[in-house]
Every structure is written in structure tokens, then in C-alpha cells.
Amino acid sequence: MELIDGNQIAAALIAELKAEVAALPGRKPCITLVRVGDDPASVSYVRKKEKTAAEIGLTSRIILPPVTISQTELFALLDELNADPTVDGILVQSPLPRHIDEVAVFRRVAPEKDVDGFNTINLGKVAQEDETGFVACTPAGIMELLARSGVDLKGKHVVVLGRSLIVGKPVALLALQKKAGANGTVTICHSATANLPAITRQADVLIAAIGRAEFVTADMVKPGAVVIDVGINRVADATKKTGHRLTGDVKFDEVAPHCSKITPVPGGVGPMTVAMLMKNTVKARRLRA
């Protein structure tokens, strides 16, 4: 079994981006991070994105509207950022407060600044295999992890657990694309899927993105499969100072011995998500230059 080291692969990508940004003439790419309220996970995600941007040499701006901001006010802020020529990329950190329609916010970000890749146009470009769009960062990160780990999906049965707009659907579309590294035969499973273990057992490559701690057990995995664990779940753990630990959607200790390759949590898909956001921001700057 080989561990797919997301930290190491993300570090290589970040080093490449740093060199690319250093060689860019003129204004450095600028990402604006909008974090509504103080959700603790969002605070740490935005901090990590800000730190990585600085490491690469990108300019970042952080905007912290209060949790009470109305949808109209948030739209006005996005309209301002959309029109600002010094802003290349805009990321609105999710989750948003309940009174705000998250998908409407994704649609409001100008497609050419939508480095998160959730705007209708960019999701559509994934379906159309149009490389001028922005691919959502977690699915793009999964594809990059696979490519850099020598996993070619051509002819493989790829089973995606989860059909969210953020992970499941776009990663399934990417695995299905008619291009080098992809060309997978894709099955998407969700909460209404019957006989789920019988399907996951057919997977050459299993991508788990359901948000259920340690849901995937050894009996659900074909020997020799590649397993990508997207889940980030907090489970209570009295032995930790924080009282919790992070775990994926895969029961790692049990599944790992069965796999040819597997990602750990943390240190698998997570670091790639941040690196791909930076890659998208550099691309946005280039496309707008």
C-alpha cells in the first residue's frame, strides 16, 4: 500500500506557482477572501488560504462582513469586487448563514473571477470540457493528486460516493472527461443508492465524499483499489487537548491494507484544495492580463 501524501504534492504545486508568480510581469495576482461571520472552521480555512497566498507571492484581501449581512448587501459587495480591476479572484467561504442562498451567491461572482469554480458558467464549462473555465478546487485537487500519483483513470471504474455540487458532481464529470488521465467509467452513489457496498466493491478508484465519519469499511473496498478520502469529520476524542480529532469518510486503519494507494485525513485532499485555489487565481490573472 502506498500513501498518497497530499501535503507533499501540494508543496510541489505551491513551489511551481511561486516560481510562476515571480516571473509574472506587473501587478501580482490578487485573491479576495470573503468570510461572513466567525464559524471556527471557516476562520481556520481562510487563515490557511491567506497564508498560502502570501507564500506564493499573491496579494490577498480579506473582507469580514458580519453574520447579519443581508443577501442584498452581500450581492452589492460582490458587485463591487466584480467591477474592481485590481481583484483577480473572489472566494466566498462557505458555509454561509442560513438566511443567505449559497447557490445565488455562487452565481453572483463574475465567472472570470470565480476561482472557487461554483458559478453556473464554470460548472457548465466542466461539462463542456472547456479549459478556459475554473474547476472547483477540491475536485481539481483530487484529479491533480491522482495524476501526480501516477493513477490514470482510463478504462477504470471510478465510484464517487456523494453527489454534492462542491465535490461529488464535479469530480464525477472530471473523471468522465475525454482527455488524458481521465476517461473513467463513472458511477455516482448517494443516500438513495440501493446496495451501496456492492457498487463500491466494483471500484478501481473509490472517491468518498459524504461527510460520514469512517463510513467506508474494508468489506466495501475491492483489494488493490485506489481510495481517495475527501471527508473531514470532527469526532469526539477525550485523549486530544481539543476534545476532538479529524477523521475521513474512510475507516483508514481497516481499509488501507486492502488498497494499492490511499489518501490520509488530514494530509490528503485538504492541502490540495488550497493549492488549487491559488492555481486558479494565477490563471485568472493570466486570463485577464
**Does residue 160 bind ligand NDP (CB under 6 A)?**
no
**Does residue 10 bind ligand NDP (CB under 6 A)?**
no
Torsion-angle region of 214 (φ positive above 0: left; ψ -120 to 50: alpha; else: beta): left
Q: What cell was used for 171?
A: 469530480
Least separation, in Å, of the C-beta of 24 and ligand NDP?
26
Least separation, in Å, of the C-beta of 50 and ligand NDP?
16
Which of the residues 261 through 280 are near ligand NDP (CB under 6 A)?
A: 269-270, 273
Q: What cell was used for 264?
A: 490520509
- Active site annotation includes 283: no
Instruction: Tell me the one-letter amino acid at 37.
Output: G
Q: Which residue is nearest to ligand NDP (CB)?
A: 164
**Does residue 211 bind ligand NDP (CB under 6 A)?**
yes
- Active site annotation includes 128: no
Stretch that binds ligand NDP, among 22-30, 162-170, 177-185, 220-228 (CB under 6 A): 162-170
Q: How far lies 53's CA from each of 34, 70, 154, 199, 204, in Å?
A: 14, 28, 34, 40, 35
Per-residue buried b or exposed e for 169-206, using 16+ beta carbons within 10 Å of the residue's own CB: bbbbbbbbbeeebbbbebbbbeeeeeebeebbbebbbb
**Does residue 89 bind ligand NDP (CB under 6 A)?**
no
Least separation, in Å, of the C-beta of 3 and ligand NDP?
16
Q: Please pick, among 49, 156, 251, 261, the residue that the annotation labels catalytic.
A: 49
**Does residue 233 bind ligand NDP (CB under 6 A)?**
yes
3-state secondary structure of 96: coil
- Active site annotation includes 38: no
Q: How many of the chain's residues bind ligand NDP (CB under 6 A)? A: 25
Q: What cell was used for 167?
A: 465535490
Q: Where are the beta strands (DSSP E) in the chain?
A: 2-3, 30-34, 59-63, 89-92, 157-161, 185-189, 205-208, 226-229, 233-236, 244-247, 261-262
Least separation, in Å, of the C-beta of 288 and ligand NDP?
26
Q: Which of 30, 78, 159, 232 binds ligand NDP (CB under 6 A)?
A: 232
Which residues are tagged catalytic?
Answer: 49, 93, 116
Binding site for ligand NDP (CB under 6 A): 138, 161-164, 166-168, 189-193, 196, 209-212, 230-233, 269-270, 273
